[in-house]
Amino acid sequence: MTDEFTLGDRKVRRLGYGAMQLAGPGAFGPPHDPDSARAVLREAVACGVNHIDTSDFYGPHIVNRLIREALYPYPADLVIVTKVGARRGDRGAWLPAVSRDELIAAVHDNLRNLGLDALEVVNFRAMFSAHGPAEGSIEAPLAVLAELQQQGLIRHIGLSNVTPAQIAEGRRICAIACVQNHYNLAHRSDDALIDDLARDGVAYVAFFPLGGFSPLQSATLTEVAQRLGATPMQIALAWLLRRSPNLLAIPGTSSLAHLRENLAASELDLPDDLEILLR
């Protein structure tokens, strides 16, 4: 199992870090302990993480500022991936933000708060449904991002929370560097999509990589974890890394101990019969 895959034109470790949980509850407002949040970011990089997923609508603005405070000037190999297409309401609601002006403002907010001249990867986050990918044209917002890419503000464009039809539509507008969707051991609706992207050499980034397991899956995870001297969540992350060479995972946490536990999952050697057991 290879430890790296190409994201845009950069090699990253397949087990990255999702920064959403560094904000307050529901990714809204400031964290209870900003010093602890910055310590988690520094520890992630010290442990070899070179792919951090974020967005300026986490907080909003707060998580990107924490990343800059903790890590700037950034290590040469660090790839920071952000996303646009949403905004937060006054009470934390997740709202679409896909007009030309909103997308341009979001890119500039990310640049300013991260302290960057260009964003390595920007994912357009489709917001047609609150419950997962739903059909709808992404041509207009993606054309705006492609224009910003031509201006040099964005290096690579990805898609998040999208369907195969939307990916096909997006590819007619610009090169798609990655697809970021909900996927884990219990939520496998993108199985065919992952395999299709693997054939094209495109990264599939799994968000919410843990949770939602059936009682049988949970029992099996516990059994395998005990056999390997690991935790059930480590087994679930290791399963993701074994699933396909183009699959990247971005588990998030605000805990140093949990961060170290997650990252140790990449060292696990899973039994060959695990996939059969977990079906």
Residues 6+ away with beta carbon under 8 Å from 240: 183, 184, 185, 206, 209, 247, 249
* pLDDT tens across the length of the chain (279 residues): 579 999 999 999 999 999 999 999 999 999 999 999 999 999 999 999 999 999 999 999 999 999 999 999 999 999 999 999 999 999 999 999 999 999 999 999 999 999 999 999 999 999 999 789 999 999 999 999 999 999 999 999 999 999 999 999 999 999 999 999 999 999 999 999 999 999 999 999 999 999 888 898 899 899 999 999 999 999 999 999 999 999 999 999 999 999 999 999 999 988 877 766 566
Q: How far is CA 53 from CA 71, 199, 208, 219, in A?
A: 14, 24, 12, 31
Residue 1 confidence (pLDDT): 54
Active-site annotation holder among 58, 74, 183, 204: 58
Residue 275 confidence (pLDDT): 65
Taking the C-alpha atoms of residue 81 and residue 64, their distance in angstroms, rounded to an integer, is 11
Residue 212 confidence (pLDDT): 87
Cβ neighbours of 268 (radius 10 Å):
19
**Total-model pTM:** 0.96
Residue 131 confidence (pLDDT): 85
Determine the 3-state secondary structure of 188 from DSSP: coil
Residue 277 confidence (pLDDT): 59
Residue 172 confidence (pLDDT): 97
Residue 273 confidence (pLDDT): 72
**Sequence-ordered alpha helix ranges (H) in the chain:** 34-46, 62-71, 100-114, 139-150, 164-171, 191-200, 215-228, 232-243, 256-263, 274-278
183 is known as an active-site residue = no
Residue 276 confidence (pLDDT): 60
Taking the C-alpha atoms of residue 268 and residue 242, their distance in angstroms, rounded to an integer, is 10
Token output for 135 = 């059909």
Residue 124 confidence (pLDDT): 98
